[in-house]
A and B are shown apart, each in its own frame.
Chain A
Amino acid sequence: MRLGRAALWVFCGLVGCWLVAPALIVLPLSLTNQASLVFPPRGWSVRWYANFFTDSTWIGAFWTSVQVALLVTVVATAVGTAAAVGLTRTRGRALLVANGLILSPMIVPGIVFAIGSYATFLSLHLVGTLGGFVMAHTVLALPFVVLPVAARLRGFDRRLELASASLGAGRWATFQQVTLPLVAPGVLAGALFAFVTSFDEVVVSLFIQSPYLQTLPVKMYSSVSRDTDPTIAAAASMIIVLTTALVLVATYLTARRSRAR
């Protein structure tokens, strides 16, 4: 019995390491003083971080990613929240069809989606444009907004909307002042997922990039296949820190909101 428990703990520990090791190994890699990716590093330096911030292709790709991800966050959160509201008020066949369509980007293989986007964007002259990136990433991010918002809406007491109407609030006022504040944790979670989805998207981005407009993951991919200098590890480390920080902030905000109730 005791032995079984100990074995279970060891097994869970191993699974945990297995899950985070690839991410954590990047941190020491990025701090090497060597010009190649060696683990464990023999000497320490922040020169690859300096390189990241001074090389215009790296910092340019970083800002492109931030810009795209922020725009995707805004658009996907607005559209996804509206879609979730619609879905939770629909029944029958229409619901099945709409649900399937909205969630399809999670099911369709990324490479298929990428080729389709590339072909369409070519004829529309959207390849290598900010608008193209935002459009493609928004579609990919949409399910990650719809799911948490819809989950939150299903737990929402619709009688509050009747009460609001009886008190003189129209549909839009009710949505703004009653429904939205109460599903805000779901919207916040959705917004965060949307940002992260866009920020680390690579397959579609590889197809619709141009030499003049690259996102950070695209730059990292092309850098690894050309010259394997540890700047890529520095970039990866910063992505890890950024996304982890975002998740922690969102978790904290969500917890604080539910306590206030």
Chain B
Amino acid sequence: MPASGAAADLAGARALARTGGEITLEHLTKRYADATAIDDVSLDIRPGEFMTLLGPSGSGKTTTLNAIAGFVTPTSGRLLMDGTEVGSAVGGVPPHRRDIGMVFQHYALFPHMTVEQNIAFPLRQRKVARDRRAELVTAALDTVRLSGFGRRYPHELSGGQQQRVAVARSIVYRPRVLLMDEPLGALDKKLRDWLQLEIKRIHAELGTTFVYVTHDQDEALVLSDRVAVFNGGRIEQVGTPDELYERPSTLFVARFVGDSTVLRGPATAAGSGGSGPGGSTLGKCGRTLRAPGALSGAGALVVRPERLSVHARGAEPDGADWNTLPAVVERAIYLGSSRKLELRLPDGEPALVRELAGRLADVRPGDQVTLAWRVADSVLLPDDPDVEAAVT
């Protein structure tokens, strides 16, 4: 049958398509005999949203995904889909009745079935008529750009092709929620970049709710509408990629999402001798730095590398809205479109600067320079002594 017919058919199906499902996690907790995998996780995933669960390994993101799929029964808390409870400590709707699709890191294609048979599998479970099945399989293969591969067996395909078949298999029956567990984890960098865009395109085409698990923060920023950052079985912050990057709410998020320079020191909130209304000061390298937000105690001032600039001593910007610190350039890494400078502060702590091509300061390793940044471009957070161990 002609592919255009199938495409028109899929367009028709799209017009009728149900929108993505809404998922609500309420105080979800999963304890094992010797460890707590997730601890009081609450999260609202909106219909049609691309939500990424981001965190280091063992942070609870995969357990959360498996709880949504129904593979893990929570110890306490509730899981709702479109307002209906589907999971709790007493069990719930079994995985095969949850109207979900799932894509696994290692593809999990059925080795004894051809590509077509793999994609038709969920349709057969739903008793879709044979003709209709063939149409939908053709359309799904079109969507993942694998037309003509239907008769092959999974072992005859490359890793990237297998994963696209797995995606086709999980969207062909148009589940309201698609769960993806590190789907690009086993692929090389170039293929990963391309498939990220493919996944984003498919999400835009389908309107299905995507829940995506990854430990790769770049991937999370590229793909997601919102990201939930996991650490030690808890959610540290939920937000859009730019919220996480520009306004991290914990030091862990600041360190895990994107690069940053962290300036640790004693903080004092305004009113107790600070810089201005609502601000704070932070003692660092014998200087008093200005910081936004009121905080007293052990503080960590976070500045993103492209917000920092490097100047010759004495040529730095001056004024109430600027901070400056002396530093020594240790390494300069030229990256084409940008340059990375690694610097060392007088107290031995590192700092990182990224400069765009065409705006490179005239410095080389060994130079004594001054670092400068606007007060508004930094974020003051409570210090967390365990953060370095948690991030890696």
Do B112 and A168 have beta carbons less than 8 Å apart? no
- Nearest A residue to B126, CB-CB: A168
- Nearest A residue to B112, CB-CB: A181
Interface string of B78-108 (1 = CB under 8 A from A): 0000000000000000111100111010101
Interface string of A166-202 (1 = CB under 8 A from B): 1111100100011001100000000000000000000
**Considering the chains assembled together, what is the distance between the CA atoms of A224 and B334 in angstroms?**
93
Do B94 and A165 have beta carbons less than 8 Å apart? yes
Indicate whether B179 reaches chain A with its CB closer than 8 angstroms: yes
**Considering the chains assembled together, what is the distance between the CA atoms of A178 and B118 in angstroms?**
11
Do A166 and B170 have beta carbons less than 8 Å apart? yes
Indicate whether B110 reaches chain A with its CB closer than 8 angstroms: yes
- Nearest A residue to B179, CB-CB: A166
Indicate whether A162 reaches chain B with its CB closer than 8 angstroms: yes
Do A170 and B96 have beta carbons less than 8 Å apart? yes
- Nearest A residue to B111, CB-CB: A261
A182 to chain B, nearest CB (A): 6
Indicate whether A74 reaches chain B with its CB closer than 8 angstroms: no
Number of B interface residues in the complex (CB < 8 A): 28
CB < 8 Å neighbour of B125 from A163, A169, A181: A169
Indicate whether B331 reaches chain A with its CB closer than 8 angstroms: no
* Interface magnitude class on chain A: 10 to 19
Known contacts being A162-B71, A261-B153, A261-B155, is A168 close to B104, with CB within 8 Å?
Answer: no
**Considering the chains assembled together, what is the distance between the CA atoms of A260 and B156 in angstroms?**
11
Do B104 and A177 have beta carbons less than 8 Å apart? no
Residues of chain B with a CB closer than 8 A to A165's CB: 70-71, 94-96
**Considering the chains assembled together, what is the distance between the CA atoms of A165 and B108 in angstroms?**
12
B20 to chain A, nearest CB (A): 16
Residues of chain A with a CB closer than 8 A to B69's CB: 162, 166
Residues of chain B with a CB closer than 8 A to A163's CB: 102, 104, 108-110
Indicate whether B173 reaches chain A with its CB closer than 8 angstroms: yes
Known contacts being A169-B125, A173-B125, A261-B153, is A178 close to B96, with CB within 8 Å?
Answer: no
Other contacts beyond A162-B71, A163-B110, A261-B111: 11, CB < 8 A: A157-B108, A159-B108, A160-B108, A164-B121, A166-B100, A166-B101, A167-B170, A168-B96, A169-B96, A177-B124, A182-B110
Residues of chain B having any CB pair with chain A under 8 Å = 69-71, 94-97, 100-102, 104, 106, 108-112, 121-122, 124-126, 153, 155, 169-170, 173, 179
